[in-house]
Structure 1
Amino acid sequence: MAMTDSPRWLELSLEADAELAEAISEALFPYVEGGVALEQTHRHPLGGEIASRWEDERAEGPIIVRAYLPDDETLAERKRKVEEVLAYLNMVRPTPQPTYRIVAQSDWADAWKASFKPLRIGRRILIRPSWINDVPSDHGADRDLVITLDPGMAFGTGLHPTTQLCAAAMEDYVQAGMRVLDVGSGSGILSILAAKLGAREVVGVDTDDEAVRAGRENVLANGVGDRVTIAHGSHEVAHGVYDLVVVNILAGVIIRMLAEGLASRAPRFIFSGILDAQASDVARAAEAAGLSITEQRAMNDWIGLVCTRRSKDR
């Protein structure tokens, strides 16, 4: 990194509608660190933006695409590639130019932590930031599945609807003794949840170094290191067959993985990270791969799909 005492990042952000935001995210994905964040916003009457991922109501307004490039020897080439793919997209459809700003990782983390509070998702899941000791005691705290989390720059705080869709579905489908594969594990939140729901073995995989680091630290902090392994790579590095595969990535990546044989890895799948405009494409890819859509869940503009492998394909 350019700074040894506090790593720095070049943050890029731009606004787009849902369909274009998805295309931009997929185009940027190979050149950034920690994945691409899609933040739904609506306009405050007095000006400014409010992140609607904190709210239950349907989002209004544009989606902010946000990503980070490490400020190191790869920065110039990564930025050139980013601007090149955005230029290609602009030939197909007008694409806004990104704005850039340098962010020190320590400053970014401190600002982010100030807004990350204990959060309840699903029926009895409580996400507790690692730096906060006091948590809400309502909603039957004795039954809470508490996940202690410090995601750093890895995706997966529990705030985003895609993570909440996965978590809620996992409450219904993870059973004691299962083997679970978490593809795109990010902070490790869903891998940890699978273990706390009773899975005997969980493998989380992610292609980002920072996500793998954060995921491993969070696994240890939650005392599930005996059942959860976080590995660098995609689903092919996790050997064997699983009882359930959870995939919380971009729609285009899900479609590609299905074409590459992901459907053979388990009898049941939970897919998320899908904007509602992309749900039909993912459903067609799943069906073509031998899966049946057994349930569809929605939150704001996001869709989660539960799929099972058709009996003749088992």
Structure 2
Amino acid sequence: MQGKWIEVKVVTTSEALEPVSGIFYSLDVKGVAIEDPNDILQREQGPLTWDFADINLFEYGDKAAVVKGYFSVEDNMKEIEEYIKEKIQDLKGLGIDIGEGKVEVKAVYEEDWANNWKKYYKPTNIGNKIVIRPIWEEYQAKEDEIIIDMDPGMAFGTGTHETTRMCIEALEKYVTNEKTVFDIGTGSGILAITAAKLGADEVIGVDLDPVAVDSARQNVELNKVHSDIKILEGNLMEVVDGKADIVVANIIADVIIFLAEDVKKFIKDNGYFIASGIIRERSQDVVNKLAECGFKVEEVNTLGEWVCIVAKR
């Protein structure tokens, strides 16, 4: 028997996907999955790990959207359910169309989604020459393309989410030979592996979640870049020594704001901090904090409802 988790499902609208997701992020959620009828591919999303894919886009009709949050069985689910219901009503009071706004809670097992989602994950072209290829898919590489083989398992990072795509595009722009890159919250290791294949001399990926660490290490082996990458379990400030030319963090706005001051200690002079996982509504908060900490914001890129900020130390 695989691990047991508690799934909280909110039936809503495409308009309300981001604010409803924000409700989950204010809790100790272990992962979030989105089913959007306006986006035929389910989007992965989460500050740490998990690519849940209990995919049935039209389970609630062709106009309903669904946000699912996953919690530990040890969590106080009655309290969490009431909190989510209360916040959904708050969104309604703000004039946001929440649709049905129905909240459902059930226990689920890892094997329920471990394989079903794979049929939706296809080779993905990103930037000028990066191709993310799931290991079960055939793909004939074109000239000059860089292939990243991925089996994300239960770790966040397939390359399909807007935040991951923007981080990869930024790495493609800023990574050159002999650069050192630190990847905070490495998840499946996709950004660390991309940096190594782009020519970085040294790459360190860190994650607090042992599931993510195991997934990242397996993907490093798949891509035969184990001599260039170290994957470490823990907090950047506690397990990494030295400084990088580039630090990338695809997490969430609140964590980036929290890290902004300390992360400077790990970036060389004139080095870059690539930060994503930021919803549009929080981008200015992150820009302000980075400026306050002495960073010069070089780029603010958007894709969908998400933002990626590149700041120079």
TM-score clears 0.5: yes
The alpha carbon displacement at 1:118 in A equals: 1.3
Distance in 2 between residues matched to 1:246 and 1:62, nearest whole Å: 34
Q: SS of the counterpart of 1:268?
A: strand
Instruction: State how 1:1-314 maps to structure 2 within 5 Å.
Output: 3=1, 6-14=2-10, 15=12, 17=16, 20-21=19-20, 23-28=22-27, 30=28, 32-33=29-30, 35-37=31-33, 39=34, 41-43=36-38, 50-51=40-41, 53=43, 64-70=66-72, 75-77=73-75, 79=77, 82-83=80-81, 86=84, 89=87, 98-132=103-137, 134-137=138-141, 141-237=142-238, 238-258=240-260, 260-266=261-267, 267-309=271-313
Mapped partners of 2:218, 2:82: distance in 1: 35
Using a 3 Å threshold, how does the CA distance of structure 1 residues 227 and 303 change in structure 2: closer, same or farther? Answer: same
The aligned amino acid for 1:8 is K
Task: Label 1:216 to 1:10 Cα distance change in 2 as closer, same or farther (>3 A).
Answer: same
Q: Deviations over 1:61-94 (max 9, x none)?
A: 8875433235xxxx14353563475477569656
1:293 and 1:306 in contact (8 A); partners too: yes
Relative to structure 1, the CA distance from residue 300 to residue 232 in structure 2 (aligned partners, 3 Å threshold; closer, same or farther) is: same
The 1:257–1:191 alpha-carbon spacing in structure 2 relative to 1, beyond 3 Å, is: same
Alignment gaps of 5+ in structure 1:
44-48, 55-60, 310-314
Residue type at the aligned position of 2:110: Q
Higher helix content, 1 or 2: 1
Q: For 1:191, what is the secondary structure of its paired residue?
A: helix
Question: 2-side partners of 1:40 and 1:103: how far apart?
Answer: 17
After superposition, give the CA deviation of every residue in 1:190-234 in whole Å (9 maximum; x if it has no partner): 000000011111111112221111111111111111111111223
Q: 1:248 to 1:130 in 2, by over 3 A?
A: same
* TM-score, normalisation: structure 1: 0.80
Cα deviations by residue, 1:234-281 (Å, 9 ceiling, x for unpaired): 3213222111000100111111111x5112321211111111111111
Q: Matches of 2:85 and 2:204 in 1, distance apart?
A: 38
Quick one: which amino acid aligns to residue 251 of structure 1?
Answer: A
Code of the aligned partner of 1:130: I
Counterparts in 2 of 1:98 and 1:204: CA distance versus 1, 3 Å: farther
TM-score, with length taken from structure 2: 0.80
1:175 positional shift: 1.0
Post-superposition offset of 1:179: 1.0
- Number of residue equivalences: 281
Q: Output the CA distance in 2 between the equivalents of 1:180 and 1:68.
A: 31
The separation in 1 between residues aligned to 2:233 and 2:76, in whole angstroms, is 21
Q: RMSD of aligned C-alpha atoms?
A: 2.7
Measured at CA, do residues 234 and 82 of structure 1 come closer, stay the same or move farther in structure 2, by a change above 3 Å? Answer: farther
- For 2:108, the aligned partner's letter is V
**Preserved CA contact (<8 Å) 1:18 1:62:** no
Partners of 1:249 and 1:154 lie apart in 2 by 13
For residue 103 of structure 1, what is the amino acid of its counterpart?
Answer: V
Return 5+ residue gaps in structure 2 as ranges.
45-62, 93-97
